[in-house]
Amino acid sequence: MRLGVLDVGSNTVHLLVVDAHPGARPLPAYSHKAQLKLAELLDDSGAIDDEGVDRLVATVREALEVAEDHGVADLLTFATSAVRDSTNADAVLSRVKSETGVELTVLSGEEEARLTFLAARRWLGWSAGRLLLFDIGGGSLEIAYGIDESPDAAASLPLGAGRLTASHLPGDPPSSGDVRALRRMVRSSIAGVVGDFTRFGTPDRVVATSKTFKQLARIAGAARSAEGLYVRRDLTRADLRVWSQKLAEMPEHERQELPGVSEGRAGQLLAGAVVAEAAVDLFGVETLEICPWALREGVILRRLDRMRNGGS
């Protein structure tokens, strides 16, 4: 059957269409994205402003039309950090439903981490052993650890690349003082949860998902996306240390010229690098393996599992 998953994230609204059956690998059929940067459209009270809600409604309506055009039989919809943390979340969800008919499910941060972990586990398989996973989104950082398909520990921190750029890194490039202050804050936040994971022992594999990690790996020399999903792509602690410093000295237009960096995310890449470097340092990780599956695939896999087990 043809499934669609509509992901209302902090950076983009992404419709992924797949051909999927219980027990089989979901095969991507079409991808449609619109960059809204909802995490940057909050007013002083923490609410998504009127412009942001207008754009969200229009984008969801457009995504519905695309899903219909591509024969989607079942559309799964969810929203993450930007909507979850906004002070007017209920009003935003109500308006989206009344004007488009779409009832967005708001995932908790921990549920994001658990579904992303499920996707990484299925991609890597049981032979990967104990997995430690990191995912940097626009609004939050997710961390998960475990040996099964459901992690033993999962956490979500408000350390997304878009959120931190908007709140902590004014200037282009930002001042060295602002970058140092961001590093201190990020490291303090991550340090507060490290013990929740390290008590389970040393992981066998450490994986990273999300566009932020993919772009950091690419500028550090990893294979291009055109070389295929099955080419291993790694990102080392040493590379993160080097590129975190380089990005801090680059204005946004120079970051846009780096390999694999999209124009819309160039401004957020420094904040993402700061979070990534802090995570590997504090967890004592030398190398991250980039996993191509993440939250959207986790949502699809969970739906397929429920179908196979006779649920809805």
Domain ranges of the chain: 2-106, 109-295
What is the pLDDT, as a whole number, of residue 96? 97
What is the tens place of the pLDDT at every residue in 72-104?
999 999 999 989 999 999 999 999 999 999 999
Q: State what percent of residues in the chain have pLDDT above 90.
A: 86
SS3 category, 139: coil
CATH code of the domain made up of 109-295 = 3.30.420.150
Percent of the chain with pLDDT over 70: 99
d(CA 139, CA 82): 6
CA distance 131 to 256: 32
Residue 311 is predicted with a pLDDT of 60
User: What's the pTM value of the predicted model, to 2 decimals?
Assistant: 0.94
Token pair for 141: 């950082």
Query: What is the separation of C-alpha 208 from the centre of its chain, rounded to a whole number of angstroms?
Result: 10
Are 2-106 and 109-295 the same fold in CATH?
yes
Contacts 24+ apart (CB under 8 A), 105-111: 105/77, 105/78, 105/79, 106/78, 106/79, 106/80, 107/78, 107/79, 107/80, 108/84, 108/156, 109/81, 109/84, 109/140, 109/142, 109/155, 109/156, 109/157, 110/154, 110/155, 110/156
Q: What is the pLDDT, as a whole number, of residue 40? A: 76
3-class secondary-structure state, position 175: coil
Q: Is the pLDDT of residue 184 over 80?
A: yes
Tokens of 27: 């095969």
Answer yes or no: are the C-beta atoms of 108 and 180 closer than 8 Å.
no
Judged against a pLDDT cut of 60, whether residue 298 lies above it is answered with: yes
Over residues 32-67, the pLDDT tens digits come to 999 988 877 778 898 998 989 999 999 999 999 999
Is pLDDT at 309 greater than 90 in this prediction? no
Average of per-residue pLDDT across 150-162: 96
Above 70 in pLDDT, residue 145?
A: yes
pLDDT score at 77: 96
Fold of 2-106: Nucleotidyltransferase; domain 5 (3.30.420)
Confidence of residue 312 (pLDDT cuts 50, 70, 90): low
Mean pLDDT score across all residues of the chain: 94
